[in-house]
Every structure is written in C-alpha cells, then in structure tokens.
C-alpha cells in the first residue's frame, strides 16, 4: 500500500492487485527432465540449458512493449539486490548506482546471450508473445498474474504452473519478495463537492471490483475475501498461495516512478534487452539521468 500512502495517511483504495508470475509450461519442462518448477536459480539455469539443447526456447518476452521486459529485469534485480534495495531505488531514496543492480542486469543479459530468450520477441507485441506461449513455443512466460484467467479459459491449467522467480543471491533476497502489489486504486479529489460520500462510494466500489475481479481470475484479492472463493481458477489460487507467503512487495517500476522518470527508465530497459548497453552503463545512465 506504499504507493497510496503519503505522510502516514492513505489516499487511495485498491481495486485489485497483481504480481509478476513465472508461468511454466510443464509439458516442455518435462522434456528437459523437470517434473516440477525449478526451485533454485541453479536449477532454472540448468533447465534452460537443457531446453535450449533440445531446441526449445525457454523464455518469451515482448521487446515492443518495454514494460514486459521489466517483468523479467525487475524480478532478477529483486532476487539479486533484495526487495528493500529495489523499493528504495524506485522511491528515489537510494541511488541506481548499486553494484548488485549492475550484476543483476549482467545476469539478465547473459541469459539473452545464452539464447534463453526468443530473439524474435524484440519485434513482437505482448499479445503475440503470450499467444506463442499459449501455443507451446516457450517453456516460461513471466508476466502479470492477470493472465491466469486467459490461460484457464484456454484450458492450459493442467499443463501450466505458476511460481515466483527463484532467489539469485540468498544473502540479500528470499522467496516471498515479490514484484507487484495493489497498484490500481480509486481516489477522491479533496475539492469534490461531497468528498465524504464520494470516498465511501469509492471504498465500496473498489471492494466490489476486487471481489468480482478475483472470482473471474483477473486479479488477486487486495481485500481479505469474506466470500466463497472455491470457484476461482487453480492458477489464480496458486498465485494467492504465493502471496499468502509474501514478505515484501516491490511495485512495478514504471508505476512506482513519476511519468517522466518512468519513461527514462523504460528507455534504458529497452537498451538492455537489445544489448545496446551493459549492466554498468545501465546503472551509470540511470544515475545520471534520474535525479
């Protein structure tokens, strides 16, 4: 709720929440000898190597929509530098000039160099990449958990599992540190004619949207459910289980930052995905350009 909290007071009510999930095609993972989602980073790398050796593309990521790249990059930074460090960077209370960030970006680029990512992804939209994953082209797809409903409707629940990205540096991060959180909120302008009534309405409206959004599998409950949730699809329920063990959330970088800063950040992320700059140049550039 940090993104709606200012000076100790809350200024918005969440309608829904989502996290970044690592969706795994278990049929493809089985071909690499994995019947479960790789639990550690070393296992993930081993799994990717085996997938590549068999001609299977491990990850699909749209380069045309840079926010999709952040789903990967932020997860890797978080699991390398830790959620607290990333939250401070996004909030502007810590500098981008952090060696762990440079190291994480290097890890991401190494994954690209090792052909873990579909090279065509850079020219594709997220919808195209998602369609490829659903068609069985990629073993993994990291994206928002709002996709659960689509995967469920496409009948993929039996072969797709969702997990969080494994920890890379256990001295700084741990499982349960997630990218996401309640980002969509309703707020009422202080100058509204009937601010109190409007705020109460916004409160009820947000709860209602959250309620039905969760039941439809389009998001996670930002409010504690006090209703029957047995009809929620299995993938969304898996995500709810992950969230139940969450220790810390880091809001999506381009949502947490101001609009102008977010675009500068996305520009650098795009350069990372196309390997135009190195991890250190990413850190140096953001330190210079984001004041």
Partner 1 sequence: MGFPERTAFFKGNGYMKKLYSNKLTTFLFLLPALILFIGILVAPIFMSGYYSLFDWKGYGPKTFIGLDNYKELFTSENIGFMKAFGNACLLAVLSVLLQLPLALFLALLLGSGRKGERGFLSIYFMPVLISTVVIGQLWLKIYNPSYGVLNVALRALGLDNLTRLWLGDEKTALWAAFVPTLWQYVGYHMLLLYAGIKSVPPEYREAAMIDGANESQVNRFIVLPYIKPILRISTIFAVTGSFKSFDLIYVLTNGGPNHSTEVPSTLMISMLFLRNRYGMGSAIAFVLILLCFAAALIINFIFKEREGKPKCKTETE
Of the two residues 50 and 64, which places its CB atom closer to partner 1 in the complex? 64
Q: By CB under 8 A, name the binding residues for partner 1.
A: 63-64, 66, 119-120, 122-124, 258-260, 263-264, 267, 270-271, 274, 276, 289
CB of 204 to partner 1, least distance (A): 27
Of the two residues 191 and 226, which places its CB atom closer to partner 1 in the complex? 191
CB of 129 to partner 1, least distance (A): 11
Of the two residues 173 and 261, which places its CB atom closer to partner 1 in the complex? 261
CB of 131 to partner 1, least distance (A): 11
Of the two residues 63 and 253, which places its CB atom closer to partner 1 in the complex? 63
Of the two residues 137 and 211, which places its CB atom closer to partner 1 in the complex? 137
CB of 162 to partner 1, least distance (A): 26
Of the two residues 245 and 274, which places its CB atom closer to partner 1 in the complex? 274
For residue 220, what are the β-bridge partners? 17
CB of 28 to partner 1, least distance (A): 18
CB of 60 to partner 1, least distance (A): 12
């Amino acid at each position: 709720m940090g993104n709606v909290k200012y000076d100790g007071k809350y200024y918005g009510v969440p309608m829904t929440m989502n996290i970044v999930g690592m969706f795994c095609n278990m049929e493809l993972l089985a071909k690499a000898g994995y019947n479960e989602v790789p639990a550690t980073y070393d296992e993930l790398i081993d799994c990717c190597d085996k997938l590549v050796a068999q001609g299977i593309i491990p990850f699909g990521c749209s380069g045309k929509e840079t926010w999709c790249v952040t789903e990967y990059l932020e997860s890797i930074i978080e699991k390398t530098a830790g959620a607290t460090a990333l939250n401070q960077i996004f909030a502007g209370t810590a500098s981008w000039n952090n060696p762990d960030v440079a190291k994480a970006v290097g890890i991401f680029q190494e994954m690209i160099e090792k052909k873990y990512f579909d090279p065509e992804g850079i020219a594709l939209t997220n919808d195209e990449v998602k369609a490829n994953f659903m068609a069985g082209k990629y073993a993994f797809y990291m994206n928002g958990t709002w996709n659960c409903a689509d995967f469920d409707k496409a009948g993929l629940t039996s072969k797709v599992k969702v997990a969080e990205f494994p920890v890379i540096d256990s001295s700084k991060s741990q499982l349960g540190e997630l990218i996401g959180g309640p980002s969509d909120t309703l707020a009422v302008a202080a100058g509204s004619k009937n601010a109190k009534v409007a705020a109460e309405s916004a409160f009820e409206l947000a709860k209602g949207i959250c309620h039905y959004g969760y039941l439809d599998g389009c998001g996670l409950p930002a409010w504690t459910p006090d209703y029957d949730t047995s009809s929620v699809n299995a993938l969304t329920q898996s995500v709810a289980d992950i969230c139940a063990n969450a220790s810390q959330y880091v809001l999506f970088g381009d949502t947490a930052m101001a609009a102008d800063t977010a675009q500068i950040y996305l520009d650098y992320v795009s350069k990372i995905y196309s390997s135009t700059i190195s991890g250190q140049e990413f850190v140096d550039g953001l330190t210079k350009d984001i004041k």
